Amino acid sequence: MYLFSLNEVSSLNDLHSKLSFYTINCLPIEIINDLSLINLLSYSSNYPHDLHILFSCLLISQINPNNYNQLNLRLFRCLINQINNYYINQQDLFDDNHYRLMIVYLVSKFLCEIHRRRLNNEHKWYYLYHEIPEEHPLPTFELFSELLCLLGTLTYNHIDCQNQVRQVSGTIEAILSMTQIDLNQPKSQACVTWLIKCLTESNEENRNYIKQIK
């Protein structure tokens, strides 16, 4: 499962390029249930590398505006919980900041893409629903709250990660837009409140940035 040495990656753009190539050319489209995923990662000889690489590949796949694959989305959501639990329960600091910054950057880009899809009513998975959708639950039910909670976990007490969210243009605006009432994302308002607290704690730059948003 291990694709390449992190020493071979010269920049975040280079990493994005390598992961995108893998996603397009190598990623299998198969059903993987939660238990199989846990077993797969538990027996990995290269954990946590494999967890982060697999999660990043699926995340980049979701960023692709032409990809609305339900099987990929299901696996991606399993991996959100795996990544979140990894950072909540992490006992060591193995390359911690390196991984955190990479995941924060990718999640921030995906939140911006979600915001764009919602503004454009691009796909029914990402519409703003004031009434229960006819197809309920949608594959994206509560996806936003999962992503917001993950970003909160990654940025809590990590100033570099807090700044990374602000530096990805449009991310904070996308986060604030999720305070709108959406019956497909019923927990997102509360999660935005928690995430803003994580982003602004001991971070005056982020507080000032949010204050100036009209």
Task: Render pLDDT for 54-95 as a digit per residue (tens, 0 to 9).
Answer: 888 888 888 888 888 888 898 899 899 989 998 888 755 555
Domain ranges of the chain: 7-211
**What pLDDT digit, counting tens, does each position of 116-144 carry?**
999 999 999 999 999 999 999 999 999 99
Dist. CA 79–CA 77, nearest whole Å: 5
Report the 10 Å Cβ neighbour count for 180.
13
How many whole angstroms separate alpha carbon 50 and alpha carbon 56?
Answer: 10
Strands (E), 73-204: none
By the 8 A CB rule, do 166 and 108 touch?
no
